[in-house]
Amino acid sequence: MEEVKFTLGRLPLTVFSQGAIATLPEHIKKYGTRILLVVGKSSLQESGALERIELLLNQNGIIYNIVNSAGEPTVERIDSIVESINHKVDVVVSIGGGSVIDTGKAISAMIPVKKSVADYLEVVGTKQHSGEKIPFIALPTTAGTGSEATKNAVISKPGKNGFKRSIRHNNFVPDVAIIDPQLQTGTPLSVTAASGLDALTQLIESYVSTNSNPFTDALALSGIEKFAISFNALCIEKQDTVFHRANMAYAAYISGITLAHAGLGVVHGLASPLGAFFGMPHGIACGTILAAATKATIQKLQNMGDSYYIKKYAAVAKALTSCTDMSHSHCCNALISTLEKWIEMLKIPRLSEYGVTQEDFPAIIRDAGNKNNPVSLDEQEVLQVLEERL
């Protein structure tokens, strides 16, 4: 009988409800009244949400400077923002998607340091961060990365010799996560689909991770169940309601907790070089690879005669699909078919649409990894996954 054991890391103070944005001033005032407000390029402005947020801040005597964050954070962008700050900042507040939250998270970590964030990135950097930071509040406007619950920020250096690496410390978990599903209504279908598939990938990969445990398993399955209720409704039936946005926001938040405690698998191993080398948005990279990588993993487990992880994939299928068959093999097939159907129906871009060619495969494979995949895929098996999605 397997022993129950796990280590539970830090979680943010979390406020999850429709209208939760109204609590932002009270959480800011725990730390001060001067904030750096990090927002995306245009979506908050176009929806009118930014105007309402500014009114809320002004009514509560909050002094704010706005920084716009376009695309995934880069070393140059983080360094430039931090160098430009010449005023006191009590709190960094990010309102946006995963990239905006990662940008704010990195800024809050680097303001006290005043050095290049590149020096503190895993693998490519040489320095260890002390963990000292400016208090940080995260408000996600998409349901994808779960960055509002994690201790790392992913920083990119785009290009053929680029990278995507994390700055990471237990103290970098947001001090407060305010999750208001109403902020997520109106998100474009393409963003909802790609973000949602990223969250689903994180839930599945952490559930079948070699480092999973009963705590993460229970959370991951609950996230998958909420995802199953609302992904189709939002992305295919176009029922853009607060109810469905709340389910997706829950799935994304939980995926952040489970990935932080159980780790991820080969999909994220491949998503990193795809994003770094070709500028492929993270959600699209995960979404386009998910079905093929899941199929390759399940097939290898079946060929090995594995039962433990096949049962777990079958449990995912039962939570995610209409599969009620007692046959684990049938449920695994249903899972693969469902993922393939979504990717096709939602027209998730293929690798070639971002300039990937077969000549690029060796470099992608060289920079990828299996992470905590339930079985290691060899180079030939990973090659087949890439070829399937080219």
**Res. 19 pLDDT band, cuts 50 70 90:** very high
Residue with tokens 């490519």: 124
Phi, psi of 13 (to 5 degrees): -60, 120
Which of 116-125, 168-177, 326-335 has the lowest average pLDDT? 326-335
pLDDT for 147: 97
- Residue pLDDT, tens place only, 71-94: 889 999 999 999 999 899 999 999
The pLDDT value recorded for residue 346 is: 96
Domain boundaries, the chain: 13-184, 189-389
User: 0.85 exceeded by the pTM?
Assistant: yes
Provide the pLDDT for residue 8. 87
∠181-182-184 over CA atoms, to 5°?
70
pLDDT tens for each residue of 23-77 = 999 999 999 999 999 998 877 887 888 999 999 999 999 999 999 988 889 999 9
Q: For residue 202, how many C-alpha atoms fall within 13 Å in the half-sphere facing its CB? A: 32
Tokens of 81: 């923002």
Asked whether residue 223 carries a pLDDT value surpassing 60, the answer given is yes
Q: What is the DSSP letter of 74?
A: B
- The yes-or-no verdict on residue 352 having pLDDT over 60 is yes
pLDDT band at 325 (very low <50, low <70, confident <90, very high): confident
Pick the CATH number of 189-389 from 1.20.1090.10, 1.10.260.40, 3.90.1150.10, 1.10.10.10: 1.20.1090.10
CATH class, domain 13-184, is alpha beta
For residue 159, give the 3-state DSSP assignment: coil
pLDDT attached to residue 1? 53
For 261-290, what is the mean pLDDT? Answer: 96
Q: What is the mean predicted confidence (pLDDT) over 319-329?
A: 84
**Span 348-375, average pLDDT:** 96
Confidence of residue 149 (pLDDT cuts 50, 70, 90): very high
Beta bridge partners of 65: 36
The pLDDT value given to residue 158: 81
Q: Picking from 8-22, 153-167, 280-294, which range would have the lowest pLDDT averaged per residue? A: 153-167
3 state SS of 62: coil
Handedness of CA 276, 156, 158, 187 (dihedral sign): positive
pLDDT on residue 372: 97
pLDDT-based confidence at residue 3 (cuts at 50, 70, 90): confident
Crossing angle of helices 214-235 and 308-320, in 10° steps, is 40
Task: Please list, in sequence order, all residues whose beta carbon lies within 8 angstroms of the beta carbon of residue 40, skipping any fewer than 6 positions away.
Answer: 68, 69, 70, 96, 97, 99, 100, 141
Mark 265-281 as b/e (b = at least 16 C-beta within 10 Å): bbbbbbbbbbbbbbebb
Question: What average pLDDT does this structure show over 180-190?
Answer: 94
Please state, in angstroms and as integers, the Cα–Cα distance from residue 365 to each residue in 277, 296, 301, following that order: 12, 15, 21
Residue 366, burial from CB neighbour count under 10 angstroms (0-12, 13-18, 19+): exposed
**pLDDT per residue over 107-127, tens digit each?**
999 999 989 999 999 998 999
